[in-house]
């Protein structure tokens, strides 16, 4: 579903977009930095990024395609963890990142907005 969602979005949605339209897919850092027990997700993230590059070549310049590949983002997917464990995980992850913080939903929204609104980026 993580691959076929973007694929069908492009296949059925792309023809309905006006010239100059843009589609942004979301992948993940696991295709470049795989983790233990993450091989299926690593593979599908790589497939989504490959699809993005191929569609940019096939359907550009009429349409632009971008793929956002965020690192560690604090979302509700971690809400099932006990609060203390989640806090420790976020802190240790943040300490390993250049900005010393994890991303959040607003960061992703701003990045997608940039990719959609910048007519040069593909």
Which residues are catalytically annotated? 27
Place of tokens 């949605």: 13
Strand 63-68 with 21-26, pairing: parallel
Q: How far apart are CA 9 and CA 24, in angstroms?
A: 10
- Token pair of 80, please? 């099932």
């Amino acid at each position: 579903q993580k691959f076929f969602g973007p694929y069908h979005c492009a296949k059925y949605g792309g023809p309905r977009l006006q010239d100059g339209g843009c589609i942004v897919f979301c992948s993940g850092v696991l295709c470049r930095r795989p983790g233990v027990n993450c091989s299926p997700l690593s593979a599908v993230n790589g497939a989504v990024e490959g699809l993005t590059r191929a569609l940019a070549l096939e359907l550009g310049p009429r349409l632009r395609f971008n793929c956002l590949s965020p690192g560690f983002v604090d979302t509700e997917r971690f809400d099932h963890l006990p609060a203390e464990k989640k806090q420790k995980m976020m802190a240790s992850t943040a300490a390993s990142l250049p900005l010393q913080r994890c991303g959040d939903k607003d960061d992703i929204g701003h990045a997608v907005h940039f990719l959609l609104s910048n007519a040069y980026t593909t």
